[in-house]
Amino acid sequence: MHGAADVRIESVPDARLTEPTDALVRVARACICGSDLWPYRTMERSETGRRMGHEAIGVVDAVGAEVRTMKVGDVVVMPFAYSDGSCVFCHEGLQTSCIHGGFFGSGEVDGAQAEALRVPQADGTLVVLPVGEGDALMPSLLTLSDVMGTGHHAAVAGKVAPGKTVAVVGDGAVGLCGVIAARRLGAEQIIILGHHRDRIALAEEFGATEVVSERGDEAVERVRELTDGFGVHSVLECVGLEQSMLTALSIARPGGAVGRVGVPQDDTLPASQLAFYNNVTVSGGPAPVRAYIGELLPDVLDGSIEPGRVLDRTVPLDEVPDGYRAMNERQAIKVMVEP
């Protein structure tokens, strides 16, 4: 990406191993992320550009001398953050804060919207999958690299539990995966806040029990009507704008929790007093998706969840710029890249 709305496909030197803990991964499928749309709208012009993409599933092409958990030919899923798997934060299940970690496509390391990339800390980062490259489950397995794990993180941070009432703010890929996660964790009522017809339809198939298409104060009013006037136990904030956070805090019932995973576009949180007087917990951040793969993988493999359905458009590598445009114009929920 060279600037706002300026995505180009360029030839760069082949990815190669540089550390003994690296793996080289040939990308089988990658994604364009909703969070890639923030720089797509606002990035200042850059001479060097930024290599984009942080979600991938692929095949191990080479491993460094110290890599133990995978071999050439293994199919692996790549979380959007790399992590060593051995530091204090990795042991606590917060791999996004790994002392030796970082984020793919951030400028420090390669991006995944590519034919191949170098993966640092391969043993801590990558998870070997029990499937072949052509498996029909590849799209759903790919979502474990970000959106399904992120939706799950919103649900965990929002304290979703059996019998609870839940609202999901945002009907993008993460919000839709949040619906899957809330249902999977046993929520009784799942209200989706969004207004794109196709996305709402998918949310209902994923387990949403009610739809609120109003915005702002009307949306808050509507959620209260659906919850005996109290609001919900758990809110999954999957947008990151001031307005969406204000809505989230306004529909949490006293003692409730907001799990936020939308990348915040503001420095401060709105409705601080409201959250305070209602004893509302605000939690969340970049999802440690690496920690969740073990829990979510069996449900993907046995077909009990199908998060890959959020990937509603596929483009080859040379049409990635068109994929960005389609997502930015809301013509696609989420675009999958097949190099």
Task: For residue 68, report the phi and psi dihedrals to the nearest 5 degrees.
Answer: -115, -25
CB of residue 294 vs Zn ion: minimum separation in angstroms?
16
Closest residue by Cα to residue 235 from 288, 310, 178, 167: 167
Backbone dihedral region for residue 111 (phi beyond 0: left; psi -120 to 50: alpha; all else: beta): beta
Residues that bind Zn ion (CB under 5 A): 83-84, 87, 90, 98
CB of 88 to Zn ion, least distance (A): 7
- Cα–Cα distance for residue pair 133/200, rounded to 1 Å: 31
Nearer to Zn ion, 85 or 308 (CB): 85
Amino acid letter at 165?
T
Q: Which is nearer to Zn ion, 83 or 143 (CB)?
A: 83
Tell me the closest approach of the beta carbon of residue 83 to Zn ion, in angstroms. Answer: 5
List C-alpha distances in Å: 61 to 16, 74, 115, 311. Answer: 10, 8, 12, 26
Q: How far is the CB of 17 from Zn ion (least distance, A)?
A: 20
Residues 6+ apart with CB under 8 A from 228: none
Output 20 or 298, the one with its CB closest to Zn ion: 20
Question: From CA 241, how far away is CA 277, in angstroms rounded?
Answer: 22
Nearest to 236, CA basis, from 208, 215, 217, 197: 208
Q: Which two structure tokens, joined as six digits, stand for 269?
A: 């949180």
Report the residue number, 86 or 304, with the smaller CB distance to Zn ion: 86
CB of 309 to Zn ion, least distance (A): 32
Whether residue 98 contacts residue 89, with contact meaning beta carbons closer than 8 Å, is answered with yes
Count of CB atoms within 10 A of residue 305's CB? 23
In the bound state with Zn ion, the residue whose beta carbon lies nearer, of 94 and 245, is 94
**Structure tokens given for 167:** 């609202």
Whole-number Å distance between alpha carbons of 311 and 296: 18
* 125/234 with CB nearer Zn ion: 125
Could you give the dihedral angle defined by the CA atoms of residues 242, 248, 249 and 254, in that order, rounded to the nearest 10 degrees? 180
Query: Which is nearest to 113 in space by CA: 121, 103, 105?
Result: 105
Q: How far apart are the C-alpha atoms of 114 and 145, rounded to whole Å?
A: 16
Number of helices (H), then strands (E), in the chain: 12, 15
**Residue 87 Cβ vs Zn ion, minimum distance, rounded to whole Å:** 3
Shortest CB 90 distance to Zn ion, Å: 3
Q: In terms of CB distance, is 83 or 227 closer to Zn ion?
A: 83
Question: Please, what is the minimum distance in Å from the beta carbon of residue 259 to Zn ion?
Answer: 23
Nearest distance from residue 145's CB to Zn ion, in Å?
A: 18
Nearer to Zn ion, 93 or 303 (CB): 93
Q: Which CB sits closer to Zn ion, 125 or 250?
A: 125
